[in-house]
Amino acid sequence: MYTRRFLALGLLAAAVVWAQDAQLSIQVSGDVKQPLTLTADDLAKMPRAMVRTMNNGMETVYEGVWLHEVLKRAGVPQGSELRGKALAGYLLAEAQDGYQVVFSLAELDPAFIDNEILLADTANGKPLFGAQGRFRLVVPKDKPGARSVRMLTRIDVVQLRK
């Protein structure tokens, strides 16, 4: 059902896609062994993780999948394999309106740093909706929220040195 809805949306003009429902899947593409199209159902079957944030005194509990688990599934080098040329790799996260931010691959790898970067699909137990999008990033260790991309649609992996 998700896929059919997504296809139907894809046929409409871009402007309409923008203004209407959030996209119901995320593309993982670029320099990856295994490009992926992930829906909420797919994420539900992966190892789940949780992050708590405080925004102006309001607590939100986000659930989803660590971003490094998504990269693992796409075959991006991690742990002992993330060395040499692969360290000049980064991830570009893009939102439905074209907003983009970058993370280096090392910065996403728990073998390098205890970061907590979540690809979230629920907040306080409910599926994300509206301006949050169906999916978002949550980067609790960043001080500003600017890389916690809402309405996430695409994750592009780029290896600068091949």
Partner 1 sequence: MTAGLCAGGFDWNLPPGFPRPPIPADNPMSAAKVDLGRFLFYDKRMSVSGQESCGSCHRQELAFTDGRAHAEGATGQLHPRSALSLVNVAYAPSLTWANPRLTSLEEQMLVPMLGEDPVELGLKGHESEFLKSLRAGPAYQKLFPQAFPDEHDLYTLSNVAKAIAAFERSIVSVRSPYDRYRWGGDSSAISDAAKRGEIIFSSSERGGCFQCHGGWNFSGAIRFAGSSADQQRGGFFNTGVSAYTAPNRGLFELTHKPEDIGKFRVPTLRNIAVTAPYMHDGSLRTLEEVIDHYAAGGRMDDPNKTRILHPFRLTDSDRRDLVEFLKSLTDEQLLHDPRWSDPWR
Nearest CB to partner 1, comparing residues 59 and 114: 59
73-102 mask for partner 1 (x: CB under 8 A)? Answer: ----------------------x-xxx---
2 to 41, contacts with partner 1 by CB under 8 A?
A: 18-20
Q: How many residues bind partner 1 (CB under 8 A)?
A: 19
Which pair of structure tokens corresponds to residue 70? 């998504």
**Contacts by 13-21, CB closer than 8 A, 24 or more apart:** 17/96, 18/96, 18/97
Residue 44 binds partner 1 (CB under 8 A): no
Taking the complex as a whole, the smallest distance from the CB of residue 141 to partner 1 amounts, in Å, to 16
Nearest CB to partner 1, comparing residues 20 and 104: 20
* DSSP string for 4-57: HHHHHHHHS-HHHHHHSSPPSEEEEEES-SS-EEEEHHHHHHSPPEEEEEEETT
Span near partner 1 by CB under 8 A; candidates 3-11, 33-41, 76-84, 129-137 = 129-137
In terms of Cβ atoms closer than 10 Å to its own Cβ (0-12, 13-18, 19+), residue 75 is: middle
Instruction: Report which of 139, 135, 133, 132 is spatially closest to residue 118, judged by C-alpha positions.
Output: 139
Nearest CB to partner 1, comparing residues 41 and 97: 97
Residues that bind partner 1 (CB under 8 A): 18-20, 55-59, 95, 97-99, 126, 129-131, 146, 150-151
